[in-house]
Structure 1
Amino acid sequence: MKRFAYAAIPVIFLLASAVSAKGVDELPTDQQALYQRVDPQLPLGPSAFRDFVAKKQPPWKIGYASTYAGNTWRASIQDEMTNVILPAYQKAGLISDLVVTQSDLKDAVQIQQMRQMVDSGVDAIIICCSNVTAINQTIEYAHSKGVPVFSFSGYVTSPYAINVTENNTQGGYAAGKWLAEKIGGKGNVLLVSGIPGFASSDSFDAGAKGVLAEFPDIKLVGNVAGNWTDQVAQVEVQKFLATNPGKVDGIIVQSASENGVLNAVRQSGRDLMPVVLGGEASAACFWRNNPGFIEQSFHFWPPRAEARMVWDVMMRTLEGQGPKVQSIPRPVITYSIDEVNATLGENCDPNSTAWLEPANDGWWPKEVAAGYFLRPEDPLTWRPKP
């Protein structure tokens, strides 16, 4: 898949009450600000791996216990890990293999797969978008065997994991605020969630609903589950529009669903209202061809950037660099139609499965990454001490 980049990456910082916790207090001031609007269940204590020593020298074997493979976001994640990141770390002699499993959204299956990974000798496990509490005992089991677990795009509450995640509450808040202002602070809004019950989906929804509550003339007229999948979102939005003839003034969408939502609205015969876009190249292609549609979009969870970030944190931890905090949230990043025009050609694919990505490691810059570790080094050039 083609990767996309942008030159300008303005970041939205949202103010709230201050957060104070050991570990967080050790971060640079600008990074501490990212903890001021987070899901209240997100663990904020010091990392259990500050003094971690890997159970053996590299090359290390990594497990990726994914929960789902049925959308373009997950496909981009796996492609980045297996075809871009893994070969680089194998060439450096730091990684031997990556073992990938899929649990099809079944907690019991993911638990079994993770335990098998531990018992078969993996040195670390990456998990994605998992249930907040269901696998905590399995994470503790992995920890007892010297295997750290890294959760990305969502979080778990176990103290024996490191959460490497976008700040989804902030993302939902930013999306809701933009849309509320776009429709003039009044009207009817439809919310298209991800998969209810998963941390990233619920946190995003909480942020969106929270900001909409600040606008008394805005009514949330519906909430459907798009399952982060265009085909599912298209069907669910079509059903909603067919059974709810009232006006819809705007739609908040969790990626990867926006192209399905756009298709559903256009097929309904209704006039197209403002829709929150979150990074799908297909939806950005529509925007490129209809520049008056909206004036801003968002990187909520750019898949390749997220894959690189969780891998970076995992490698630094295995190398003994000492993560300071249990959870590392990243802020939403905006992008404009000018940036889309500079990236997508005039003949862009309206059915593309690719994603737009922040430029130049803008999601997780090296200088920012270093501030989250007690003994930072470049994880790719690091070598064990003789």
Structure 2
Amino acid sequence: MKRVIAVVLILSLFAMGTFAEGQKEGAGEKGGYRIALSNDYAGNSWRQTMIKDWETAAKIAIDKGIVKEAPVFTTNESSAAEQAAQIQNLILEGYDAIVLNAASPTALNGAVRQALDAGIVVVSFDNVITEERAWRLVTDFQYMGAAQVEFIADRMDSADILEIRGLAGTYVNDAIHEGAMEALKNYPKLKIIGEVYGNWTQSVAQREVAGILPSLSKVDAVITQGGDGYGAVKAFEAAGKKIPMVMMGNRYDEMTIWKEMKEDSGYETISISIAPGVATIAFWTAVEVLNGTDVPKEILLPPLTVTEESLDFHLENTEPGGVASIIYPQEWVQELIKNWKAGDPPPADPLPM
């Protein structure tokens, strides 16, 4: 009898381990999955578009009966401590999956491990975490920084460059900066002559650029991280200085002012950023994991680049105050997972919804 009980106990423990990092047994069979978005910040147009895109995808999934609910929870001022407590509350509330835009790549790992140990699927995106047991959708942010340097290098033999960074302490800010610094090693005549933090927000970027401009004799180009290009242009305008080549970040106001300057004087730049709709990739990735799909723990995603040729298209498909984005359907994410496992490039972006 004792042996039978021991065998049953071992099998029970095995079953618990089997579902601890994949799916909960029977999840989704009683009215659909419960998936929460834990978001560390919503103070700019990118994050607001991200939340809107998430809600659009969630409604589609709810209407199809795939998901029961998919609420959004946002912390104040990108607080890692508050977000960790938020994750712990979501564990207690019994969510099937937590999708995470993290305040810190490392500070949330303890709370994330608690979620994983409880059998909850955790998918991080944008500002990703380092916990290896979680699923990570990693945008190639180093490419974002490097691409801006390459664009400048293709058009200038030498340049004094102002760098506008994002939100201090975040993975995204560090990765874009590292990509730019690595690319600059190939072009010794391209030099960073100043650095400010714009918090990915036009008003902060404008204030910070205005504050540093009096100390800079010449600026040929401005490297940005998204949401700061418009503010940079306005700061140069207000100071009565020539507007340098400012890299844009796919916001409606950035693309609009670029179009105006292009039509007026042939102004040249590019616009590059992660699409806020990457949240919908994370959403459907969580669904796929819950469905039992073999999803790689890490998938690399390309950023969305707006060129002079595609500028009009993206302006027409972006709401005023918003950001160029794409809402990715479940079928696209399924193809992405399949391609990644096969070593193939991501599928072509679907048209905006």
C-alpha displacement at 1:336, in angstroms?
2.3
Q: 1:49 to 1:252 in 2, by over 3 A?
A: farther
1:124 equivalent in structure 2? 97
Q: 1:332 to 1:79 in 2, by over 3 A?
A: closer
Structure 2 matches for 1:167-316, cutoff 5 A? Answer: 167-182=140-155, 184-242=156-214, 244-291=215-262, 292-304=265-277, 306-316=278-288
Deviations 1:68-125 (A, max 9, x none): 111001100111112x111111111111112322222111100000000011111111
C-alpha displacement at 1:181, in angstroms?
2.6
In structure 2, runs of 5+ residues without a counterpart are 1-17, 343-353
Q: Which whole-Å CA distance do the structure 2 matches of 1:191 and 1:50 have between them?
A: 44
Structure 2 matches for 1:154-165, cutoff 5 A? Answer: 154-165=127-138
Q: Supply the RMSD in Å over aligned alpha carbons.
A: 2.4
Q: Which whole-Å CA distance do the structure 1 matches of 2:37 and 2:294 have between them?
A: 22
Deviations 1:299-331 (A, max 9, x none): 320112x1221112111111110112x221112
1:329 equivalent in structure 2? 300
The residue type equivalent to 1:239 in the other structure is G
Is 1:97 the equivalent of 2:65?
Answer: no
The residue type equivalent to 2:233 in the other structure is L
Is 1:53 the equivalent of 2:16?
Answer: no
1:353 equivalent in structure 2? 321
Conserved 8 A contact 1:49-1:317: no
Q: Which whole-Å CA distance do the structure 2 matches of 1:145 and 1:336 have between them?
A: 45
TM-score, with normalisation over the residues of structure 1?
Answer: 0.76
Deviations 1:13-53 (A, max 9, x none): xxxxxxxxxxxxxxxxxxxxxxxxxxxxxxxxxxx999823
Q: Which whole-Å CA distance do the structure 2 matches of 1:143 and 1:334 have between them?
A: 35
C-alpha displacement at 1:333, in angstroms?
4.0
The residue type equivalent to 2:325 in the other structure is E
Q: Which whole-Å CA distance do the structure 1 matches of 2:280 and 2:160 have between them?
A: 38
TM-score, with normalisation over the residues of structure 2?
Answer: 0.83
Q: 1:124 to 1:256 in 2, by over 3 A?
A: same
| 2:335 equivalent among 342, 367, 377 | 367
Q: Which whole-Å CA distance do the structure 1 matches of 2:36 and 2:62 have between them?
A: 15
| 1:78 equivalent among 36, 51, 68 | 51
Q: Which whole-Å CA distance do the structure 2 matches of 1:49 and 1:288 have between them?
A: 52
Conserved 8 A contact 1:296-1:334: no
C-alpha displacement at 1:338, in angstroms?
3.3
Conserved 8 A contact 2:246-2:269: no
Q: 1:295 to 1:370 in 2, by over 3 A?
A: farther
C-alpha displacement at 1:180, in angstroms?
2.8
The residue type equivalent to 1:54 in the other structure is K
Conserved 8 A contact 2:245-2:268: no
C-alpha displacement at 1:343, in angstroms?
4.6
Greater radius of gyration (CA): 2
2:11 equivalent in structure 1? none
Q: Which whole-Å CA distance do the structure 2 matches of 1:246 and 1:151 have between them?
A: 42
In structure 1, runs of 5+ residues without a counterpart are 1-47, 375-386
Tell me: higher relative CO, structure 1 or 2? Use CA pairs within 8 A at least 6 residues apart. 1
Conserved 8 A contact 1:299-1:334: yes
| 2:40 equivalent among 67, 80, 85 | 67
C-alpha displacement at 1:357, in angstroms?
2.9
1:110 equivalent in structure 2? 83
Point out the structure with the larger helix share: 2
